[in-house]
Amino acid sequence: MACIKSAHRAALTALAPDAPYLAAGTMTGAVDLSFSASANIEIFRLDFQSDSTDLPILASAPSPDRFNRLSWSRPGAVEGDSFALGLLAGGLSDGSVAVWNPLSMISSEGKAEDAMVARLEKHTGPVCGLEFSELTPNRLASGAEQGELCIWDLKNPVEPIVYPPLKSVGSHAQAEISCLSWNPKFQHIVASTSSNGMTVVWDLRNQKPLTSFSDSNRRKCSVLQWNPDMSTQLIVASDDDNSPSLRVWDVRKTISPVREFVGHSKGVIAMSWCPYDSSFLLTCSKDNRTICWDTVSGEIISELPASANWNFDLHWYRKIPGVIAASSFDGKIGIYNLEFSGLYATGDAVGAPVRPRAPAPKWLKCPTGASFGFGGKLVSFHPVAPTQGAQTSTSEVHVHNLVIEQSLVSRSTEFEAAIQNGDKSSLRALCEKKSQESLSDEERETWGFLRVMFEDGDFARTKLLAHLGFEPPQAPPASSTDELSQTLADTLNIDHAAVTDNADAQFLIDNGDDFFNNPRPSEASLAEESVSTNGQQIEQEVSGDSVPSDPSIDKSIQHALVVGDYKGAVNQCLASNRMADALVIAHAGGSALWESTRNHYLKNSISPYLKVVSAMVGNDLMSFVSTWPLSSWKETLALLCTFAQKEEWHILCDTLASRLLNVGDTLAATLCYICAGNIDKAVEIWSRTLKSEDGGKTYVDLLQVWLYNKSAQSIALLPNNS
């Protein structure tokens, strides 16, 4: 496998379920290249569009202690947009569980060190078992010494609820819990394994063990995982160097394991079962090998490149099938792609028979397909649900006799004529025609957005803003200054030429007597009168508008300014709620003081428009998209169109579309997916919303336009900052 991204950290990792982020917590007992004794929790961005191999760090915060386990919940653990990225929990060496809000860590509005929302203290030893439930993301299971299992409800993380601890006795007794895992299909079932070789399956409804088992040697167990597809099977591994095999158990009959995988020469440390294809299993061991298994055949499919030290943590990335995160004692976090791996297992002897190619992953298989034949025939295939007892699913093949629909033929002919020369103006005309022929507002709006997609260059951005109801600012014409001066002169009845000419003429014909008979006031006296009049007016304005202030505060601020203590003066202004004064003084105190004061003002302001300013100033559009009310999605899209950078435009629009789709606003979600260029998702929504025969024709039209759009790479609607 090829390492496509990396970061130099000796840390445990957790991948965000629905966002391109990776969390890393300093591991207990590991030392990085800096030999630092500190403990930190960090969040990196998984930016696969960048050519750089380094993972960019987004946020870092100190941790109370080092980590033994890290888990990231799905969104929905806590209600509200402020927890849109879920919760991040870490099992620490001091026996506590620390819980962070990852969105607060990433957001520029707050400090990363203030993102810890809870500290769960129930265990007495290091917390080695920790996992959020996939089915109920507000539930967190933790396990530590003495076989004690705790279930936490974090729906309100400020006031977490802990259920009575579960502790097995007698033949079910466990030592220190080394790992635990929630069942993927039953939310009340959780399994735990321990250092004394005992594995217990817990029934949370009845608050007692459902079953327990161990092998005959009572090997020290290190990790376990449920089968993603078969809810009654789980695999348990041991870190015992004398017996490093992996054993598959069926909880319905635990007399002996149903299968065993042998390939490691030393104890297994970590394991991860692929959520997209249960036939792929990752394991890493103290023999410096990280192996990907085929759980159907028991063969080794591929292997990560060998390193000086072994890996101790493994995870599959849920957003992109085949991508893996691995942490090693070399002080490195690596992101690998399974599709770049070798086709055959490593370690084959010279002259040994060539093993067959590994089976294709499920995410590469085509579940359905069709092909045209001669004589108006169409052959199609689709999967069929497996019969009871069958291990694999089957497919059915059908042969259809096609009936030609003249309406579809005419539509296709019209589309081919529009794209024949690759002229976008023809496609704009086609979209305009389809918009006028649309029977519903949703179709009309969709065709309108598609028309904007075929605009050229920066004009597409202007058109999109206008389509959303926002007019971009107009540049003032060159003659606007002269027109303003002329308007002002007309208002004041000033004619400079006339004044000059009349003055010269009167000087020539006047004999000067009037100068002595009617002396004019001197310029000095006029100035004094003007100052006197203006002074009275200023005094009146000040006396009418002034607000009494505390002289002691004024004096302390003035004293701080005299000695050059700008920061102290700003703090005095903030304490006395003089925000405008604080901003002015901070501007004179340097860029760092100005930025901190500005951020304080934006954070504490209740004005909605200042949230927009905060996103622009802090360059944190992702937090804005994740938290801004969905009722104002057009404003959000307009903001992205104006300020988003080229490399983040697509992911920001895709995030906004996902939020809209989660609340059921399919039209707005479709339009945002169009802007993001996510053709697959847009077509998926269209296919779900078809209700009539006319809808099928509309679907064909939309699909044709988008296929051309994709092939011609004409989705060039990028922000002005690209």
- Looking at residue 228, its pLDDT comes to 92
Distance, CA of 130 to CA of 179 (rounded, Å): 7
- Looking at residue 390, its pLDDT comes to 57
Kind of pairing, strands 11-15 and 21-26?
antiparallel
Residue 138 CA, distance from chain mean position: 19
Phi/psi of residue 700, each to 5°? -60, -45
User: Is a pLDDT exceeding 70 seen at residue 617?
Assistant: no
- Looking at residue 524, its pLDDT comes to 44
Return the top range by mean pLDDT from 503-507, 620-624, 671-675.
Answer: 671-675
Distance, CA of 635 to CA of 655 (rounded, Å): 15
Residue 324 domain-assigned? yes
DSSP letter at 96 equals E
Higher pLDDT, 675 or 457: 675
Per-residue confidence band for 323, with pLDDT thresholds at 50, 70 and 90? very high
Query: By percentage, how much of the chain surpasses pLDDT 70?
Result: 73
Residue 326 domain-assigned? yes
Q: Give the dihedral sign, CA 258/262/267/269.
A: negative
Q: Which domain holds residue 303?
A: 279-345
- Looking at residue 508, its pLDDT comes to 40
Per-residue confidence band for 145, with pLDDT thresholds at 50, 70 and 90? confident
CA R_g for the chain:
35
- Looking at residue 535, its pLDDT comes to 44
Per-residue confidence band for 196, with pLDDT thresholds at 50, 70 and 90? confident
Higher pLDDT, 470 or 486: 470
Residue 316 domain-assigned? yes
Distance, CA of 237 to CA of 213 (rounded, Å): 13
Residue 65 domain-assigned? no
Residue 545 domain-assigned? no
* Residue 41: closest CA among 83, 104, 121: 104
Residue 516, classed as helix, strand or coil, is: helix
Per-residue confidence band for 197, with pLDDT thresholds at 50, 70 and 90? confident
Q: Give the dihedral sign, CA 342/343/347/348.
A: negative
User: Is a pLDDT exceeding 90 seen at residue 141?
Assistant: yes
Per-residue confidence band for 564, with pLDDT thresholds at 50, 70 and 90? confident
Tokens of 123: 């265990």
Domain count, the chain: 1
Per-residue confidence band for 713, with pLDDT thresholds at 50, 70 and 90? very low
Residue 697 domain-assigned? no
Do residues 260 and 247 lie in contact, with contact meaning Cβ atoms separated by under 8 Å? yes
pLDDT tens figures, 375-407: 778 999 988 877 665 556 678 999 988 776 677
- Looking at residue 315, its pLDDT comes to 95
For tokens 């009654």, name the residue.
232
Do residues 325 and 334 lie in contact, with contact meaning Cβ atoms separated by under 8 Å? yes
Residue-averaged pLDDT of the chain: 78
Distance, CA of 519 to CA of 597 (rounded, Å): 59
User: Is a pLDDT exceeding 50 seen at residue 529?
Assistant: no
Cβ neighbours of residue 213 closer than 8 Å, sequence gap 6 or more = 198, 199, 249, 251, 254
- Looking at residue 280, its pLDDT comes to 92
User: Is a pLDDT exceeding 80 seen at residue 201?
Assistant: yes
Sheet containing 323-328: which strands, arranged edge to edge?
2-7, 332-337, 323-328, 311-316
* Angstrom distances, CA of residue 31 to CA of 64, 331, 480: 17, 7, 67
- What is the mean pLDDT of the segment spanning 320-324? 90
pLDDT tens figures, 430-460: 778 877 877 777 778 877 877 877 776 666 7
- Looking at residue 701, its pLDDT comes to 60
The domain spanning residue 331 has which CATH number?
2.40.10
Residue 335 domain-assigned? yes
Residue 329 domain-assigned? yes
pLDDT tens figures, 695-711: 555 556 655 555 555 44
Distance, CA of 453 to CA of 456 (rounded, Å): 8
pLDDT tens figures, 683-694: 788 777 665 445
Tokens of 95: 């026996």
